[in-house]
Amino acid sequence: MSSMNLRLGRTLIYTLLIGFALIYLAPLYVMLVTSLKDIEEIRSGNLIALPEHINFSAWVKAWNSACTGSECEGLAPYFWNSVRIVIPAVLISTIIGACNGYVLAQWQFKGSNMLFGALLFGCFIPFQVILLPMAKLLAWLGLANTVVGLVGVHVVYGITFTTLFFRNYYVAIPNELVRAARLDGAGFFAIFWRIFLPMSTPIFVVTVIWQFTQIWNDFLFGVVYSGPGTQPITVALNNLVNTSVGGKEYNVDMAAAIIAALPTLLVYLVAGKYFVRGLTAGAVKG
């Protein structure tokens, strides 16, 4: 009886889990099959039907010959622009976040809690609000429409989340550790370097995944603060799919969308395991 129940329970669990997995996959599936069909088949056919002939030409076109303006070089050049923006922005914001989190959790000073609270509120600003004053500030710094400026903007608005992640991770580590190390004569950075960094891998993974996803998918900052020739892939994708005149090539649109999402998908695939592990280790302690 009990094993019957158990088996029934297991079946129910699997049915639900797989059912949800199918629902979650549906949009990606639609995108994928559409990208492999030719345009005639898309017009006449069924949304979820498999393609009659698998056709990769839409992918090739999206990568290197679709028009994104007066140039028709596909997403390829913009892909590398994005890489050049994302890597420094993720690294810098993560490192600053780690240092901040270390201070806020282990080296509290008068007002450090207030500072943390203020920072938390900051991450709620709708980004549309800061577009114009930020443009002014960047111009004043001589960084208007440069890659450096854009990276800077991503860093500034990424710090709130990275700091939050690291702070919540480090706050779980007993203060005694720092005190003991100081008695042994270790300084601020030595303790960070030798004790905290080595145990931070999980939270680094969480932070890097989060920041990578945010910055890679950003459109608003990318379109406003980049210069000509340095626009990120989301801007190119937007140009590619937003056709004002005729002949929408849905297969190319979908292939382009998947290409633009590949790096983040890859990050989730490869590092997804560590993501939950990192969250377990403390990011969610609130």
Partner 1 sequence: MFKYLENQLPKLVMAPTAIAMFVCMYGFIAWTVGLSFTKSRMMPQWDFVGLMQYEKLFANPRWMVALDNLWIFTFLFIVISLFIGLMLAIFLDRNVRAEGALRTIYLYPMAISFVVTGTAWKWILNPGLGIEKLVRDLGFTDFEFRWLVDQDMAIYTIVIAAVWQSSGFVMAMFLAGLRGIDDNLIKAAQIDGASTTRTYWHIILPMMKPVFFGAIVVLSHIAIKSFDLVQALTGGGPGYASDLPANFMYTFAFNRAQMGVGAASAVIMLCGVLAILVPYLYSELRSDKQ
Partner 2 sequence: MKFKLSVLAAATAMAISPVSQASEVEVLHWWTSGGEAASVQFLKEKLNNEGVGWSDFAVAGGGGESAMTVLKSRAISGNPPTAAQIKGPSIQEWGDLGFLADINDVATNAGWDDLLPGVVSDVMKHEGKYVAAPVNVHRVNWLWANPEVFSKAGATIPTTWDDFMVQAQKLKDAGFVALAHGGQAWQDATVFEAVVLGVGGADYYQKAFVEGDMDALNSATTVEVFETFGQLRQFIDANSPGRDWNVATSMVINGEAGMQIMGDWAKGEFKVAGKNSGTDYVCVAAPGTSGSFTFNVDSFAFFSQSDAGKADAQKAMADAILSVEFQEVFNLNKGSIPARLGMDRAAFDSCAHDSMDAFVASSQTGGLVPSFAHGMAVSEAVSGAIYDTATNYFNSSDSAEEGAKQLVAAIAAAQ
Site for partner 2 in 50-89 (CB under 8 A): 67-72
47 makes contact, choosing from partner 2, partner 1, none, with CB < 5 to 8 Å by partner type, with partner 1
Report the 10 Å Cβ neighbour count for 127: 13
Report the 10 Å Cβ neighbour count for 110: 6
- Residues 3, 5, 46, 242: which binds partner 2 (CB under 8 A)? 242
Residue in 92, 93, 68 with CA at minimum distance from that of residue 79: 68
Burial zone of 18 (CB within 10 Å; 0-12 exposed, 13-18 middle, 19+ buried)? exposed
CB 101 within 8 A of CB 167: yes
Q: Residue 46, interface with partner 2 (CB under 8 A)? A: no
Tokens representing residue 56 in the block: 């990769």
* CA distances, 222 to each of 5, 96, 260, 262 (Å): 55, 22, 14, 18
Measured CA to CA, the distance from residue 143 to residue 173 in angstroms comes to: 40
Give the shortest CB-234-to-partner 2 separation in angstroms: 11
Give the shortest CB-44-to-partner 1 separation in angstroms: 12
- x/- map, 58-77, partner 1, by CB under 8 A: --------------------
- Residues 7, 11, 47, 180: which binds partner 1 (CB under 8 A)? 47
- Residues 99, 144, 173, 186: which binds partner 1 (CB under 8 A)? 99
- x/- map, 177-206, partner 1, by CB under 8 A: ----------xxx-----------------
69 makes contact, choosing from partner 1, partner 2, none, with CB < 5 to 8 Å by partner type, with partner 2
Q: Residue 140, interface with partner 1 (CB under 8 A)? A: no
DSSP string across 146-190: SHHHHHHHHHHHHHHHHHHHHHHHHTTS-HHHHHHHHHTT--HHH
247 makes contact, choosing from partner 2, partner 1, none, with CB < 5 to 8 Å by partner type, with partner 2
CB 90 within 8 A of CB 215: yes
- Residues 239, 255, 278, 282: which binds partner 2 (CB under 8 A)? 239
Q: Footprint of partner 2 on residues 245-274 (CB under 8 A)?
A: 245-248
The owner of tokens 């500034």 is 156
279 makes contact, choosing from partner 1, partner 2, none, with CB < 5 to 8 Å by partner type, with partner 1
Give the shortest CB-245-to-partner 2 separation in angstroms: 4
Residue 96's SS3 state is: helix
- x/- map, 142-161, partner 2, by CB under 8 A: --xx----------------
Residue in 103, 96, 116 with CA at minimum distance from that of residue 170: 103
CB 96 within 8 A of CB 88: no
Q: Residue 27, interface with partner 2 (CB under 8 A)? A: no
Q: Which stretch binds partner 1 (CB under 8 A): 12-20, 52-60, 70-78, 83-91?
A: 12-20
Rule CB under 8 A: which residues touch partner 2?
67-72, 131-132, 135-136, 138-139, 144-145, 223-225, 228-229, 235, 238-240, 242-248
